[in-house]
A and B are shown apart, each in its own frame.
Chain A
Amino acid sequence: MWEVFIQTKPGLSHKHAGTVQAATAEMALQNARDVYTRRKEGTSIWVVPTKYIVTSEGIDKEAFFDPADDKLYRHPTFYQIPNDVKNM
C-alpha cells in the first residue's frame, strides 16, 4: 500500500489524496496518476509506502491536542490586514 500526495499547483504543498495498492514504486506512481489526477488535479505526485507513515493514532489524544484549545493568542487574529492583501 502507498499513500498518495498530490500537488495541485506549482508552489503549493502536496496534500494527501488517498491510497493505492501497487507492487513497486514505479507502479504506485502510475496508479496514483491514473486514479487521482485524471481530472487535472495535479502537477506533481508523491507516493510513500504506507508502512513508513508514523501516526498519532493510539497516543493520548487529550494530552496531545487539548492544550492547544485555549491558546487563542497563538492565532494571528489581532492584526489589521491591509485591504490590498488577498488570500490571507
Chain B
Amino acid sequence: MKNYLLKLADDTLIMGQRLAEWCGKGPYLEEDIALTNIALDYLGQSSLFYKYATQFYEGKSEDDLAFLRYEHEYLNAQLTEFPNGDYAQTILKTYFFAVYQKILFEKLMKSQDSQLAALAEKALKEVKYHYAHTKTWLNVFANGTEESINRLGNAVGNLWEYTGGLFDKTEEEENLTKLEIVPDSEMLENEWQGTIQKDFQEFGMQIPENAFMQKGSRKGIHTEYFGYILCELQYMQRAYPGCEW
C-alpha cells in the first residue's frame, strides 16, 4: 500500500512543482492564474496522499516523505517530471495527466479502502476541471494557426513515449488490485487510450504510430531532468531542516 500511495503523492507533487514554474510567466494573466490554481490543486492532493502514507512509515512526517527522500525513492511517472516546454506542451502534458487521473479516481472512489476512496472523490472534482480546461486549450491549438498546430504536433511527439509510464505498476500493486483496493492498471490504460483517441479524433490530431514507451516509471528510474527538480524542491528543507511556514 505504501508504494501505491507514494506513486499517487509523488505524481501530484512533481506535476505541481513543474506547473508552478509557470507562475508569473503565463501567456496572460487569466491563464497564469488558471495554471497556478491547477498546480495548487496538485500540491493539495499530494499533501493528502503523503499524510495518508505516513501511516505506513513510522516516525516519518508528510514533509519527510515529500522533501527528504532521494531520487530513486520517488515513484512518480516520468511524464510528470518532463519539462514544460512551450505552452502547447504544458497543456498537452496536463491534459494527458488529467485524463489519467480522472479515470483513476473514478475507479478509486469505489475502493475497498474507504480513506483512499474519500481522497479520490475529493480530488476528482478538481481533476474534472483540469480535464475541461486543458481540453478547451487543445481545441484552440488544434484548430488554430499553422504555428499552433505545429507546436501541438511537436508536443505529442515529445511526450507520447512517456505516457505509458503512468500505468506502470508499483511492486505490490497487483495484490492491491486483487483485494479491490486499487483498479487494474491495464484496464486504466485501455480506457485512457480510448478517451485520448476520441478527443484526438475530434481535434483532428494523430496518435504516434511508433508504440515505443519509456520504461522505469514507478521503479525510481527517472529522466535526466528529475535531479534538478529535486534540488529546487528540497532546497529549503535541506538548508533549514524542519523549517515550517
Chain A: residues with CB nearer than 8 A to chain B? 20-24, 26-27, 30-31, 33-35, 38
Contacts and interface: CB of A to CB of B under 8 A. Distances in A.
B140 A34 contact: no
Nearest to A23: B140
B136 A38 contact: no
Interface residues of B, number: 12
Contact of A35 (B33, B129, B140): B33
B28 A34 contact: no
Contacts of A30: 34, 132-133, 136
A22 B34 CA distance: 13
Given A21-B30, A22-B30, A34-B30, A27 B37 contact: no
Interface of B: 28-31, 33-34, 37, 129, 132-133, 136, 140
Given A20-B30, A21-B28, A21-B30, A34 B37 contact: yes
A78 to B, nearest CB: 48
In the A-B complex, the 10 residue pairs with the smallest Cβ-Cβ separation, listed nearest first, are A31-B30, A34-B34, A20-B30, A34-B33, A35-B33, A34-B37, A35-B30, A30-B133, A26-B136, A38-B37
Nearest to B144: A23
B145 to A, nearest CB: 12
A33 B136 CA distance: 14
Nearest to A30: B133
The prevalent SS among residues of B at the interface is helix
B98 to A, nearest CB: 14
B133 to A, nearest CB: 6
A70 B22 CA distance: 55
Nearest to A28: B30
Contacts of B31: 31
27 contacts: A21-B28, A21-B30, A22-B30, A23-B140, A24-B136, A24-B140, A26-B136, A27-B136, A27-B140, A30-B34, A30-B132, A30-B133, A30-B136, A31-B30, A31-B31, A31-B34, A33-B129, A34-B30, A34-B33, A34-B34, A34-B37, A35-B29, A35-B30, A35-B33, A35-B34, A38-B33, A38-B37
A33 B30 CA distance: 10
B94 to A, nearest CB: 14
B117 to A, nearest CB: 25
A35 B133 CA distance: 14
Given A30-B133, A35-B29, 15 more contacts: A20-B30, A21-B28, A22-B30, A23-B140, A27-B136, A30-B34, A30-B132, A31-B30, A31-B31, A33-B129, A34-B30, A34-B33, A34-B34, A34-B37, A35-B34
A60 to B, nearest CB: 36
A26 B133 CA distance: 9
